[in-house]
Amino acid sequence: MTRNTILVMILVLAAGSVACTGQKNEEEKFRKGWTLAWEDDFDGKANLTSWSKVSRGKQPMNRYMSDNESLYVLEDGLLVLRGVGNAAEDTQIPFLTGGITRQGVKQNSVSRIEVRARMNPVAGAVPFIALLPSDGTENIAVNIMERYGYDEFIYQSVTSEYTTTEGMPDNPPSSALVGVNPNQYHIYGVETYPDSVVFFVDNNRTKKYPRILTDIPGQFPFNDMDLDLFIGVRLNKDADAAELPADMFIDWVRYYEPQTAGKAE
């Protein structure tokens, strides 16, 4: 066998390997009945132009948010959002946290959102993925994933006037605990419909929150407004500074729309 023949065989095998890898990646993105509308895989060449950094506010989620570049690290095909101690001496803010947001679910739409992520455990740290009203309305949320400190489970829940002000968090149940190893990567997902919100972990359905008939206000506001996607790290006031940084590693984010009628699956 000549040297040129061996070289050709190596090139053919390499091309076949690349082709198989590409095919595998496409298969991993496939969801029956859905079409991938957009994705962000943070491959290192990307930037955050499709996202906005979460602004500081008065809510626990954004109490310590900052646009400091050190809290937003693109490396090895990941976006790393960080929560750190604030070393500045001229501020009363003890921590700085990173968070990103972009348009999520439009009013009266059907959608599926998935985020593949993991996080390191830190006392007082709460990595989160959530859908929140675009107009800033408080007390409404679809919490795709929240993890507290060293918990070996995550919360998936909805928040509304009905579940809080009206005191009806259990009819129907508004939250679920899902056992996971948060130190490993998992795919956290949600599907939104006019009559329900359905949660997933690693493509397994974990909870459904339905619209119900009731005279009590605010039971299912999630289809009546635009919801933006928020991903970030929250630090509680009692977070242990000695354990920081608290990091959330995001591999990719995907947004699906219903497959067009008549299109082959």
> What's the average model confidence in pLDDT over 59-86?
94
Q: Nearest 5°: phi and psi at 60?
A: -55, -35
Radius of gyration of the chain (CA): 21
- Percent of the chain predicted with pLDDT > 90: 77
Rounded Cα distance between 110 and 115, Å, is 17
Is the N-terminal amide bond of 217 cis, ω within 30° of 0? no
Rounded Cα distance between 203 and 198, Å, is 11
| β-bridge pairing 204-210 and 186-193 | unpaired
Assessment of whether the complete model's pTM goes beyond 0.85: yes
Domain 33-258: give its CATH code: 2.60.120.200
> What's the average model confidence in pLDDT over 73-88?
92
Rounded Cα distance between 20 and 42, Å, is 22
Query: Does residue 16 surpass a pLDDT of 80?
Result: no
Confidence grade of residue 19 (pLDDT, cut at 50, 70, 90): very low
Where do the domains of the chain lie? 1-30, 33-258
Q: What is the pLDDT of residues 140-197, one digit of tens each?
A: 999 999 999 999 999 999 999 999 999 999 999 999 999 999 889 999 999 999 999 9
Confidence grade of residue 18 (pLDDT, cut at 50, 70, 90): very low
